[in-house]
Amino acid sequence: MSLQNFIESLDGLLDEAKSSLDTVASNEQLEALRVKFVGAKNGAIKAVQKLMGAIESEHRPAAGKKFNEVRDAIQSLLDTATDRLGGGTKTSNEPSVDPTLPGVRPVLGQLHPITQTIEHLKEIMGRLGFNVTEGPEIEDTWHNFVALNIPEDHPARDPLDNFYLATAKKQAQNPSDRDAMLLRSQTSTVQIRVMETQPLPLRIISLGRVYRPDAPDATHFPMFHQMEGLWVDKNVTMAQLKSVLRLFATSYLGSDVRVRFRPSFFPFTEPSVEVDYWWNGNWIEFGGAGMVDPNVFQALGIDSEKWSGFAFGLGVERLCMRRFGIVDIRDLYRSDVRFLRQFAS
């Protein structure tokens, strides 16, 4: 092949590339042209390169130079077309997106209503001087029952009413087994842990999950949260307990909330009460409370002649439901974002 013919075919190829790449209108067409001109297997450039072998050796340097020029020129035409269609590094000032289109609003997460409630309760109780403490969700029977004055034969310890851990299977046969572990059934366990470790006087709350094999219904769930409160000092009275709970209820549920105390029984308080609020024509129980039983102080080596205290345990879900107007506790745990999103913090 003569040098002249080789140069002519290269010029022809460049002309063809120019006219098609200057007007290419879509990325699909551009891709087809890229394959056509510079495709590694059957591209036109490749085909012309193969012809170089047939050129007389004295003309080969000139042919190689021309080949390189045309190959680079076609590549730069491809780059320009790519930029123009918005596919590559931008070289023109033309925006590749339409800035006048409305933006896509990012979906923001938010705190679960129960988490919001917990934060709110901590804030209210903090203002009343209660410090926040924590305790483990997996407990031994000493903290969950024995130290709380719940005797071995008490129905509250029944394996059917608790989530004993598999390691404690033998508990079913022997409820007095002190090594048995369970998912705590109440946050009152934290009362014991705090009095074991912190100096008196003390004023604490503890918020966390508790577990009971209760059948789910509108107001019961097998996992729920409680807020435990404990105030131990000299001369703590039932009147103070009632004032604190009333203050708490009006701060959290509004000044018009109606609260009532019903005489009740808990092994670890004496006297004991159950605490209800009025909602939608019914009294709803939201917690239990009472004066710390001297037996509890004694189990911990605390002088019950010198120290007195009150304790309370409130259901966090029921407080949250009342505040947000949620009528079925199960809705809180269906993980339906459309439902949960309604309760923005």
Shortest Å distance, C-beta 220 to ligand FA5: 4
Q: Which is nearer to ligand FA5, 61 or 213 (CB)?
A: 213
Name the DSSP class of 145.
Answer: T
Q: Which is nearer to ligand FA5, 61 or 201 (CB)?
A: 201
- Strand, helix or coil for residue 57: helix
Q: Are 252 and 116 in contact (CB under 8 A)?
A: no
Q: Which is nearer to ligand FA5, 82 or 162 (CB)?
A: 162
List residues binding ligand FA5 (CB under 6 A): 186, 188, 212, 214, 220-221, 224, 226, 266, 269, 272, 285-290, 311-313, 315, 317-318, 329
Q: Which residues contact 32 (CB under 8 A, 6 or more apart)?
A: none
Shortest Å distance, C-beta 156 to ligand FA5: 9
Written as six digits, the tokens of 43 are: 């591209």
Q: Which is nearer to ligand FA5, 265 or 339 (CB)?
A: 265
Q: Which is nearer to ligand FA5, 77 or 321 (CB)?
A: 321
- Strand, helix or coil for residue 182: strand
d(CA 226, CA 315): 5
Shortest Å distance, C-beta 169 to ligand FA5: 24
Chain-centre distance for alpha carbon 303: 44
Q: Which is nearer to ligand FA5, 48 or 296 (CB)?
A: 296
Shortest Å distance, C-beta 253 to ligand FA5: 13
As a dihedral over the C-alpha atoms of residue 17, residue 22, residue 25, residue 28, rounded to 10 degrees, the angle is 30
As a dihedral over the C-alpha atoms of residue 184, residue 190, residue 192, residue 197, rounded to 10 degrees, the angle is 130
Q: Which is nearer to ligand FA5, 77 or 320 (CB)?
A: 320
Shortest Å distance, C-beta 326 to ligand FA5: 12
Shortest Å distance, C-beta 186 to ligand FA5: 4
In 221-304, alpha helices (H): 238-253, 294-299
Q: Are 194 and 148 in contact (CB under 8 A)?
A: no
- 40-46 contacts: CB < 8 A, separation 24 or more? 44/13, 45/13, 45/70, 45/71, 45/74
Find out whether the peptide bond into 271 is cis, omega within 30 degrees of 0.
yes
Shortest Å distance, C-beta 200 to ligand FA5: 18
Nearest Cα residue to 24 out of 98, 95, 94, 77: 77
d(CA 103, CA 10): 48
Find the residue with minimal CB distance to ligand FA5: 315
* H or E segment and range at residue 293: none
Nearest Cα residue to 258 out of 274, 240, 246: 246
Name the DSSP class of 211.
Answer: E
Shortest Å distance, C-beta 95 to ligand FA5: 56
- Using CA atoms, how far residue 105 sits from 48, 110, 293, 326, 338, in Å, is 52, 15, 56, 28, 17
Q: Which is nearer to ligand FA5, 1 or 283 (CB)?
A: 283
Q: Which is nearer to ligand FA5, 194 or 289 (CB)?
A: 289
* H or E segment and range at residue 94: none
